Structure 1
């Protein structure tokens, strides 16, 4: 993609609150109305021929990073991690009563929290427990782990690589010392470089780096330096996120002085420079917020229209049932989403009773499935094959989405619509959340004054 392909002046005026669409319906529609027994029925009805994607939430951190929106538990006690691993094993044991664990596993992901806050022995035990139940892990499975470079050593990396982990995502956010101090995450460049060098030496082929723009005290000049340092480490992928300031949801964000957060104009300058800098240095834009080298499989999947999006981000492993294991984890099936308890006490209590720690979810209607197809196709591939959707759901696409196309008129400079397809142009890719919202039935229910989502720009 060439630098001049994106019209940033057209982009900036469309800022509004909107979902990131890691699911549809989004998590705000999850409720306890979707009962435990219904959830079990959905699990039991899954086809043995459908592969599995496994997500394990390892929620512990030593201290809070004030920008973080993840569900975490703060502790310095190793025995809490030991106890948690035992409960994860018990949860998998219960899960095996309802899910055929002989199914092919095509994706495993460790998220957090800080997965490498667990030491090498704890990680080894957890992986051993997984393989005890799920014995059919594909030889080309995507096996990945999120890593805080401040908590990583060679022993942990040896455990991961010897057990088939082939992707690592490093949290960096920003290399500027002042920014790091105010967000409560001191992480010098040398620590990150050492962590990446170790991974390369251990044979990890795919390394992602997370950066965030819009953090307190960031300027265009400071972020330029962060990008230079990040590029010097030669990651295979970048995820460059717009900081989502949601202090009404995450109390730790209230510690940040909102007057120090960059203005929308500064954020736009940072985004424009970031896009130009990365694309000038051999990366290509993949999905929302992501960049990858042209030889990366994500880029190839985008080129042939097979990129997929779920709660772990972008992946080439489409068509799998996602099983979430651990505190607050979310699973996804053909007709449901399900989330575990967010607090440790009810999570453990459910497992002690021999039940899955299911908290809430949603059962998808036919209309949900239709709109999910459209929205996820837009979010992943910037494209909708209208004829394919019509055949699959037996609808007249333009009649069914008449209201959506009315809303889309305000964004028509960013999309090309024909009888056969919807194609999003390069500027529209930065506004893909806005475009997807046109097809979101639930957005109509949200009042103008309600704080539900971060802004799209």
Structure 2
């Protein structure tokens, strides 16, 4: 649903029937999309000219930076996945990729602002699919290539049950990793099979037992609700299994289907799509009862969970994100850029091959130049879709205007009890938080939506 459907929000507020209809549009399709970044990657296009990174970053004034490395390889593509990743276990392919990543870091190091790395994350794909020596190289590149100090940076690594080994965990521990995140999705073998995830419950529990021995400051587990054939009882079973390992953090995701995913929308409908709201409520209540704090629709964490280091500050509204590797995105204040995006196997393999063969990584040629409207919407969404909410003064300090004047349609959220303003913070209510994805989708600008809808993936 686009904002252009309602050009005059006052007409809605003054008409109870229109207001009720507006809220029904938001709440009737709570899982129409998953907006984890704005603008969405499907709005990226070839830039009008190649932008030198020295030019892009010269005006950035970040006090600290976020370094992200993308490893676009996994053991198998899950049925729900539309990430930039390629099922490929060949060690020589991985080595060639890490070689390219090291070349890219060497070229980027002198072009990025001389600010310390506050956060370092390695994602994918499955980074721990790499052989131990290549996995260790990633940290060497971050430290010696990009200047990341592991004693003052929060370090997060994604993994999977089948890649958990003593040798790999020894590396993560020695490299001072603070957070290990493992996607489980379900402890029920039938449900894992339904999303084409080659995973045995025994393998998951072996991996979890081994992970717990290393006592990383934060163990995060991911679960998915709304899987084909999933029942409320089996969802609670997976929740309780996860809780039995006492993770510091849990992410719960509704199942989505997207372009080029193996699982199709009709498979969700056959399983009872409407159950996802009730599954969410049950999980939320159960996690809160176990002492977790809710930070977003998806993220629940123990309030005391965190690194034992003295970490550098990094605000969620900052743009200083450096994305190394094919498929990684980088954010400056006015430009977001990356390599090209694909889901199909042949196109993804071709993009990775071009990245590995490249000798020059010093220009951005694919991404989006953010208008002021894009920057404002991004600022609002990054705050509003989390429980801390949008600090109205922070927006004013950034843009010298009022968010409610710039986007008066935000008042619709208050008039439908989806949000409140308390102590000058616009915050979603419990009901609003449940419909975060619909609210995020509603707030996409018409221009960005048009770009997303015209994107053709291969």
| Superposition TM-score, scaled by structure 1 size | 0.82
Q: How does 1:349-368 map to 2 (within 5 A)?
A: 349=354, 352-356=358-362, 358-368=364-374
> Does 2:407 correspond to 1:401?
yes
> Does 2:260 correspond to 1:250?
yes
Offset of residue 173 of structure 1: 0.2
> Does 2:220 correspond to 1:214?
no
> Does 2:297 correspond to 1:288?
yes
Matched residue SS, 1:208: strand
Name the residue aligned to 1:325. 324
Change over 3 Å in CA distance of 1:443–1:345 after alignment to 2: closer
Distance 1:386 1:194 in 2: 47
Name the residue aligned to 1:303. none
Distance 1:307 1:430 in 2: 27
Distance 1:12 1:32 in 2: 33
Change over 3 Å in CA distance of 1:392–1:214 after alignment to 2: same
Change over 3 Å in CA distance of 1:93–1:285 after alignment to 2: same
Offset of residue 195 of structure 1: 2.0
Matched residue SS, 1:204: coil
Matched residue SS, 1:140: coil
> Does 2:244 correspond to 1:232?
yes
Cα deviation 1:70-89 (Å, max 9, x = unaligned): 21112232111111111111
Q: Is the 8 A contact 2:72 2:126 kept in 1?
A: yes
Name the residue aligned to 1:55. 68
Offset of residue 111 of structure 1: 0.7
Offset of residue 156 of structure 1: 0.5
Distance 1:281 1:12 in 2: 30
Distance 2:448 2:40 in 1: 13
Distance 2:138 2:361 in 1: 20
Change over 3 Å in CA distance of 1:19–1:337 after alignment to 2: farther
Distance 1:29 1:104 in 2: 30
Offset of residue 46 of structure 1: 2.7
Change over 3 Å in CA distance of 1:289–1:252 after alignment to 2: same
Shifted more, 349-358 versus 105-114: the winner is 349-358
Change over 3 Å in CA distance of 1:64–1:384 after alignment to 2: closer
Name the residue aligned to 2:282. 273
Change over 3 Å in CA distance of 1:97–1:274 after alignment to 2: same
Change over 3 Å in CA distance of 1:60–1:288 after alignment to 2: same
Match of 2:144 among 132, 135, 139: 132
Distance 1:31 1:222 in 2: 42
Match of 1:87 among 91, 94, 100: 100
Offset of residue 444 of structure 1: 8.3
Q: Is the 8 A contact 1:11 1:427 kept in 2?
A: no
Q: How does 1:182-197 map to 2 (within 5 A)?
A: 182-197=194-209
Distance 1:27 1:18 in 2: 17
Q: Is the 8 A contact 2:228 2:270 kept in 1?
A: yes
Name the residue aligned to 1:14. 28
Offset of residue 175 of structure 1: 0.9
Change over 3 Å in CA distance of 1:450–1:34 after alignment to 2: closer
State how many pairs are aligned: 421
| Superposition TM-score, scaled by structure 2 size | 0.82
> Does 2:34 correspond to 1:28?
no
Change over 3 Å in CA distance of 1:362–1:34 after alignment to 2: farther
Matched residue SS, 1:319: coil
Matched residue SS, 1:211: strand
Q: How does 1:79-158 map to 2 (within 5 A)?
A: 79-100=92-113, 102-137=114-149, 139-158=151-170
Matched residue SS, 1:370: helix
Distance 1:333 1:388 in 2: 19
Q: Is the 8 A contact 2:181 2:220 kept in 1?
A: yes
Change over 3 Å in CA distance of 1:111–1:394 after alignment to 2: same
Distance 2:447 2:32 in 1: 9
Change over 3 Å in CA distance of 1:51–1:296 after alignment to 2: same
Change over 3 Å in CA distance of 1:402–1:319 after alignment to 2: closer
Distance 2:448 2:196 in 1: 38
Name the residue aligned to 2:81. 68
Matched residue SS, 2:153: strand
Offset of residue 236 of structure 1: 0.7
Change over 3 Å in CA distance of 1:308–1:278 after alignment to 2: farther
Q: Is the 8 A contact 1:415 1:422 kept in 2?
A: yes
Cα deviation 1:74-125 (Å, max 9, x = unaligned): 223211111111111111122124224x531111111111111111111112
Matched residue SS, 2:96: helix
- Pairwise CA RMSD: 3.1
Match of 2:427 among 423, 430, 434: 423
Distance 1:413 1:92 in 2: 48
